[in-house]
């Protein structure tokens, strides 16, 4: 093997170990850490991030990449490398070149500004006062624009931001996909709102003990194929999945005794992410290829399990009888069919994280359009709250009365994470397209799910998606898996079929 | 402030943050980590230890110490520094000079040999076969001898090993202390064994639900003054305390539903360690002075709380009525006095970690004498099992039938930790001497403990011991706190009074 490749792999291995260690610091902070430890924990994380950054921009890398024939025009390097080696060089070069393009002073100012902005955002949301947050958002956008200039772009300054989360995809491509999604979605929501037949979700208004919810969650995790000797499920304020090692994937969920779907679907969603991380092939373990192809692909795994599987009729044919064993009193007078309808209620609402799978994507389109305009200087921060309200009315048919329920509801912008939101909807679209291929290639999948056997789902995802990690860029992975480029038609068709039947049109 | 001092402090702060991060990796491994993560966790810990070592031996330090006037003959540096600055320089120089004296190749070989030896020791203990372990122990001792030559010594090669755990104390001093302890202890055990009146410990032979044990443990921790916003209590196979940050001290205990004292006294013991770590003064926080003066002093804190307080009559006068509220059925027919006697049963036994507070120190004297002879080449590893049996008979009056119950019972030697054992008994001796001073200076302490008020104990320890951290070497701290050098008379008197009364002589 080429010496330069070995050197890069040694650096990458250290980065991986440090990143997993930093992830433990983060996981512990959200789960078990005593509150008084917060200040020093921030210093610990910041030191680790510094050590990681040092290794990413290690000045010797320049020569390593040169020796491997890798550069801006040929990020994957020389043709004598194997396919996986070329993918490794491509991803390592991408990480390196993004990092060296941004001056250290700008990185530090961005981190400080975002840290301050997050604190102010919490306060502003509490007081529902956008004006408090405004100057910080303006500063963040100005720094992000500087970053886009450092990173460079040929079409839109939004591209290099999007590229951080959804590499190898441009904002023009996202625009095209979203624009063919928008009208069918708005029309579908309209039909649902006007439907005479509506499921009764009041059947869920009953108490479910947390302890029993946990037991059922563990049963579902086991059925999904989550390996407990390689991971855990804990509790945190906001559910998340984090990777502390190739065989150490930690999921969290949260419990609401009065609304049982919160913890279960949170658990299934996070397990979808976790199974991806647990499924990277042995040939890419311990390297930066043991990573998602993109955030959109990562989200496709959580959404496929949460929605296509977890909120499906076949799933509840298999699992409702078991759920009733856990909650005999609460579910005494409810049929599996009533339960299935109740957990699939659609209703336009103001808060993204509480939205159903139909309206959810309208929340995302709203944010994508606004953040793109902000970065392109086509929208002033002053005008943002009004623009939010206007778009909310146009897309969802409802308008927030306060900033807290509107423009201040999400943490992302306060962290400087512009370009992140679209990956949620890309995830839904990839999920529908993957699930269509899965059901086409394995026609008995849903009848197995009805029996409570989820192994065919995991088996297919492992083989076609998980094992490859970041070897293929997301668009290429999509074509390899489904034979087509990303096509929102699969998602629209999935929704129309499912909800047409539930709402009787 | 001198620039060199600032530079040393910057390095020290990074070492501290990395050490706390490594401690989190260790804590998580013992508490929540899934089993499959073990191999990568070892790599993560080893990487962090490497980063710490790099900073300890940072070549710039040589000039920093020179600029501060610090060296072998004057480790605390120049007199224009403040008392705390001089203590900082002294401890930093001690850490640096120990580290640079040992060649990197020897450090690596020691780590590899110890890692291998621990694996073999587990197997050897399981099979009770010393011969399996023998070659590894021989190799370890040979490497330790090389280390003592690198570190240098004027009297005994055991000194530089002891110095790792009990700095500023020589093996000759330990020998003197132990030799005036040995005969009175053997005589006391003899009296107890021959006593006609014996407490009845069968009253503890009843089931105590783990959940309720935990609740009572938390009550005792709160009474001791443990701050839950700065620490936690979890479960692990072997109880320990670890510091993950100045305000992040984690305790663990283990539960035995059939023998309730295991978890409670484990918890009190670890909390004694934890309160020390939580009590370092604000002027030394965030530096290597936020550390125990020595392992003996650390153990004095755990033992003072566990034995002088937790196994005392005043304590159970205060807490037995509460304990009975938690376990009404199990304790229905037992009086507080019966309970107090039962938890203070003395009986020579083979296993150190299960020993009572009287016989415990004979186990330590046995190990100290053997390990000193091994390092001084006065005892061959071949002859170790026989020597163990002989000493066990002489000191404890009983002889192990197997190696598992004898020479193979402890992990320490397999880790290369020679010089560690004496700190356990030094801890008991310091504890008795401190506790005598405490009761003399605050005569109403025990009557407050009878009321369940433990604040006077913590208050005194905070003021006289905790706040100073490693500012004073242990022998100096002892003189400052008690007006005398370490004197085993206090411990002997404490035992004779307590057990004379319990056993009626």
Q: What is the CA radius of gyration of chain B?
A: 23
pTM, two decimals, is 0.95
What is the rounded average pLDDT for all residues in chain B? Answer: 96
Six-digit token pair at A325?
């064993």
B33 contact residues in A (CB cutoff 8 A): 248
Position B203 pLDDT exceeds 90 = no
Top residue of A23, A27, A36 to mutate, by most chain B CBs within 10 Å, is: A36
**Mean pLDDT of all residues in A315-342:** 95
What is the rounded average pLDDT for all residues in chain A? Answer: 96
Confidence of residue B142 (pLDDT cuts 50, 70, 90): very high
Give B243 to chain A, closest Cα distance, Å. 11
- Among residues A4, A91, A166, A270, the one annotated as catalytic is A270
Six-digit token pair at B179?
């030799």
Residue A299's Cβ-side half-sphere holds a number of Cα atoms within 13 Å equal to 17
Put the strands of the sheet holding B248-253 in their side by side order: B231-235, B248-253, B241-245
Helices then strands, each counted (H, E), chain B: 20, 3
Residue A424's Cβ-side half-sphere holds a number of Cα atoms within 13 Å equal to 21
Q: Do B34 and A229 touch (CB under 8 A)?
A: yes
Top residue of B34, B249, B250 to mutate, by most chain A CBs within 10 Å, is: B34
Q: Hey, which residues of B are catalytic here?
A: 270
Please give the angle made by the CA atoms of B339, B340 and B342, to the nearest 5 degrees: 60
Which residue is closest to A42 within chain B, CA to CA? B17
Q: Give per-residue burial for A186-225: e unless 16+ CB within 10 Å, then b.
A: bebbeebeebeeebebebbebebeeeebbebbebbbebbb
What is the distance between the alpha carbons of residues B226 and B233, in angstroms, rounded to a whole number?
10
**Mean pLDDT of all residues in B183-209:** 93
Confidence of residue A156 (pLDDT cuts 50, 70, 90): very high
A244 contact residues in B (CB cutoff 8 A): 37
Six-digit token pair at A246?
């190739």
Put the strands of the sheet holding A248-253 in their side by side order: A231-235, A248-253, A241-245
Six-digit token pair at A314?
């076949």
Q: Do B24 and A20 touch (CB under 8 A)?
A: no
DSSP state string for B201-232: GGGG-S---HHHHHHHHHHHHHHHT--GGGEE
Q: Do B230 and A36 touch (CB under 8 A)?
A: yes
Q: Which of A25, A36, A234 sits opposite B24 (nearest CB)?
A: A25
**For B339-351, how does the pLDDT look when each residue is reduced to its tens digit (9 = 90+)?**
999 999 999 999 9
CA dihedral B209, B215, B216, B219 (to 10 degrees): 180
**pLDDT in the model for residue A150:** 97
**In which region does residue B335 sit, left (phi positive, over 0), alpha (psi from -120 to 50) or beta (all else)?**
beta
CB A458 within 8 A of CB A271: no
**pLDDT in the model for residue A167:** 96
For A40-54, A173-187, A219-233, B192-206, which range has the lowest pLDDT when averaged over its residues?
Answer: B192-206
What is the distance between the alpha carbons of residues A375 and A382, in angstroms, rounded to a whole number?
14
Which residue is closest to B22 within chain A, CA to CA? A21
Q: Which residues contact A59 (CB under 8 A, 6 or more apart)?
A: none
Top residue of A15, A21, A230, A286 to mutate, by most chain B CBs within 10 Å, is: A21
**For A474-494, how does the pLDDT look when each residue is reduced to its tens digit (9 = 90+)?**
999 999 999 999 999 999 999
Position A1 pLDDT exceeds 80 = no
Q: ipTM score here?
A: 0.95
Q: Do A227 and B36 touch (CB under 8 A)?
A: yes
What is the distance between the alpha carbons of residues B412 and A156, in angstroms, rounded to a whole number?
63
**pLDDT in the model for residue A170:** 96
A14 contact residues in B (CB cutoff 8 A): 47
What is the distance between the alpha carbons of residues B91 and A346, in angstroms, rounded to a whole number?
66
**Mean pLDDT of all residues in A232-249:** 97
Which residue is closest to B285 within chain A, CA to CA? A40
**For B245-256, how does the pLDDT look when each residue is reduced to its tens digit (9 = 90+)?**
999 999 999 999
CB B281 within 8 A of CB B465: no
**pLDDT in the model for residue A26:** 96
Q: Which of A17, A43, A230 sits opposite B17 (nearest CB)?
A: A43
Q: Do A229 and B51 touch (CB under 8 A)?
A: no
**pLDDT in the model for residue A205:** 87
**pLDDT in the model for residue B43:** 94
What is the distance between the alpha carbons of residues B429 and A426, in angstroms, rounded to a whole number?
67
Confidence of residue A203 (pLDDT cuts 50, 70, 90): confident
Position B1 pLDDT exceeds 90 = no
Chain pair A-B, CB pairs under 8 angstroms: 91
B28 contact residues in A (CB cutoff 8 A): 24, 28
What is the distance between the alpha carbons of residues A327 and A337, in angstroms, rounded to a whole number?
16
What is the distance between the alpha carbons of residues A294 and A169, in angstroms, rounded to a whole number?
10
Q: Which of B18, B28, B244 sits opposite A37 (nearest CB)?
A: B244
Q: Do B245 and A40 touch (CB under 8 A)?
A: yes
Six-digit token pair at B213?
């044990």
Q: Which of B21, B37, B230 sits opposite A244 (nearest CB)?
A: B37
Q: Do A232 and B34 touch (CB under 8 A)?
A: yes
CB B21 within 8 A of CB B41: no
B231 forms beta bridges with B249
**pLDDT in the model for residue A197:** 87
A231 forms beta bridges with A249
**For B468-487, how does the pLDDT look when each residue is reduced to its tens digit (9 = 90+)?**
999 999 999 999 999 999 99
Give A107 to chain B, closest Cα distance, Å. 21
What is the distance between the alpha carbons of residues A264 and A253, in angstroms, rounded to a whole number?
8
Annotation says A83 is catalytic: no
Confidence of residue B102 (pLDDT cuts 50, 70, 90): very high
Q: Mark out chain B residues that contact chain A at CB-CB < 8 A.
A: 14, 17-18, 20-21, 24-25, 28, 32-37, 39-41, 43-44, 47-48, 51, 227-232, 234, 244-248
Six-digit token pair at B402?
């197997």
A248 contact residues in B (CB cutoff 8 A): 33-34, 36-37, 40-41
**Terminal-to-terminal C-alpha distance of chain A:** 62
Six-digit token pair at B429?
């001796």
Confidence of residue A318 (pLDDT cuts 50, 70, 90): very high
Give B44 to chain A, closest Cα distance, Å. 6
Q: Could you tell me the CA-to-CA distances from B391 to A21, B353, B367, B394 in Å, in that order?
A: 46, 18, 9, 5
Which residue is closest to A247 within chain B, CA to CA? B37
**pLDDT in the model for residue A305:** 98
A44 contact residues in B (CB cutoff 8 A): 17, 20-21, 245
Q: Mark out chain A residues that contact chain B at CB-CB < 8 A.
A: 14, 17-18, 20-21, 24-25, 28, 32-37, 39-41, 43-44, 47-48, 51, 227-232, 234, 244-248
Q: Which of A17, A234, A245 sits opposite B47 (nearest CB)?
A: A17
């Amino acid at each position: 093997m080429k010496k330069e490749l070995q050197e890069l792999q040694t650096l990458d291995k250290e980065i991986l170990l440090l990143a997993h260690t930093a992830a433990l610091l983060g996981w512990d902070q959200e789960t078990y850490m005593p509150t008084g430890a917060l200040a020093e924990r921030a210093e610990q994380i910041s030191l680790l991030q510094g050590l990681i950054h040092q290794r990413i921009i290690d000045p010797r890398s320049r020569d390593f990449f040169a020796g491997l024939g890798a550069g801006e025009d040929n990020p994957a390097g020389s043709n004598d490398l194997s396919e996986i080696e070329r993918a490794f060089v491509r991803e390592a070069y991408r990480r390196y070149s993004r990092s060296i393009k941004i001056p250290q002073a700008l990185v530090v100012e961005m981190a400080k500004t975002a840290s301050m902005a997050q604190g102010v955002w919490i306060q502003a949301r509490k007081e529902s006062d956008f004006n408090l947050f405004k100057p910080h958002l303006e500063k963040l956008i100005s720094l992000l624009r500087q970053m886009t200039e450092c990173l460079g772009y040929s079409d839109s300054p939004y591209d290099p931001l999007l590229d951080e989360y959804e590499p190898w995809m441009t904002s023009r491509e996202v625009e095209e996909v979203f624009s063919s999604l928008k009208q069918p979605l708005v029309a579908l929501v309209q039909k649902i709102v006007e439907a005479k037949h509506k499921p009764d979700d009041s059947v869920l208004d009953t108490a479910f003990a947390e302890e029993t919810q946990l037991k059922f969650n563990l049963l579902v995790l086991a059925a999904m194929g989550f390996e407990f000797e390689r991971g855990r499920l804990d509790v945190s304020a906001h559910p998340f999945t984090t990777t502390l090692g190739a065989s150490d994937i930690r999921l969290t969920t949260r419990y609401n005794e009065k609304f049982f779907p919160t913890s279960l679907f949170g658990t299934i969603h996070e397990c979808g992410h976790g199974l991806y991380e647990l499924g990277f092939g042995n040939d890419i373990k311990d390297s930066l290829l043991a990573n998602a192809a993109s955030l959109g692909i990562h989200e496709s795994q959580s959404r496929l399990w949460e929605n296509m599987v977890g909120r499906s009729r076949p799933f509840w044919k298999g699992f409702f009888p078991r759920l009733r064993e856990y909650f005999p009193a609460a579910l005494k007078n409810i049929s599996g069919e009533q339960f299935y309808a109740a957990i699939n209620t659609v209703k336009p609402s103001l808060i993204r994280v509480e939205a159903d799978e139909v309206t959810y994507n309208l929340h995302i389109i709203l944010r994508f359009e606004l953040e793109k305009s902000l970065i392109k200087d086509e929208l002033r921060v002053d005008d943002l709250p009004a623009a939010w309200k206007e778009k909310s009315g146009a897309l969802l048919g409802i308008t927030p009365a306060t900033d807290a329920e509107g423009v201040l509801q999400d943490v992302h912008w306060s962290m400087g994470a512009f370009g992140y939101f679209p990956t949620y909807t890309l995830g839904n679209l990839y999920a529908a397209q993957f699930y269509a291929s899965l059901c086409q290639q394995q026609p008995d999948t849903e009848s197995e799910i009805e029996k409570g056997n989820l192994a065919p789902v995991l088996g297919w995802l492992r083989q076609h998606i998980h094992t490859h990690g970041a070897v293929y860029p997301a668009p290429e992975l999509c074509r390899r898996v489904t034979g087509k480029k990303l096509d929102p038609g699969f998602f629209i068709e999935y929704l129309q079929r499912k909800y047409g039947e539930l709402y009787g049109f």
